[in-house]
Amino acid sequence: MKSIPSDRPPRHIAIIMDGNGRWARQRGLPRLEGHRAGAEAVRRVVTAAAELGIGYLTLYAFSIENWKRPKTEVRGLMGYLRGYLRRELPTMQKNNVRFLAFGRLEELPVSVRKALDETTRDTTANTGLTLILAVNYGSRLEITDAARSAISDALAGKLHPRDLTPESFSRYLYTRDIPDPDLLIRTSGELRLSNFLLWQSSYSELYFPEVHWPDFDRGHLEEAIREYARRERRYGGVKPC
């Protein structure tokens, strides 16, 4: 295993994989070609993260808002997702990668849900990198779902309002068993979170490289980790004298 280029590595890296469409447009290609190239970038980055000893890698694969895209593009994205999972399972097993997914998964096509379920089941015993896909996900909706669950527990007498704290509320989120991201990357130079892990990224370091996602590679990931290590994380405190 190759060492992380930092003596203070992030445990959890989350990435908004942006720029597939612009990458394709710059080359005079259909948007779906950008997504195909983006899937290859996923393969590179997952392999690099596993080799570098990263604990968790969360990728924003499909947002709630993405349903607004043309139907042909949505079908293509679903096909790439399903194909990626089936094609990459042997590599995940070889690299000891555990797979998880979160979001409104029940609203996805049956074939995609099946691929997600099978990949999760088949990698459950792996102990290396945990690869997580946010699929049919939106952070505001996640927080709304969590609030509904907390209210239901309160009405059922399972939760007293005074016992609801940020820590206990976090247990109602989709990410209840996943540590918050230390480093959140958005490629393609856009400077916003776009409804991604709003609660969980409260104290994340943010990094916005100009590179489009299909061109993102191990070198870019290592540079992001080095940049993370250069920053001071004080969580509202002050640096010791």
Among candidate residues 66, 126, 153, 195, the one labeled active-site is: 66
Residues 6+ apart with CB under 8 A from 96: 50, 126, 127, 128, 129
Beta-strand (E) ranges in 90-240?
A: 98-102, 130-137, 183-186, 205-207
Give the C-alpha separation, 81 to 45, whole Å: 16
The active-site residue, picked from 18, 20, 95, 136, is 18
95 is catalytic: no
Alpha carbon 181 to its chain centroid, in Å, reads 9
Six-digit token string for 115? 């691929």
**Cα atoms found within 13 Å of the Cα of residue 208, Cβ hemisphere only:** 6
136 is catalytic: no
Cα 59 to Cα 66: distance, rounded to the nearest angstrom: 15
What gap in Å lies between CA 37 and CA 214, rounded to an integer? 5
Q: What residues are labeled active site?
A: 18, 66
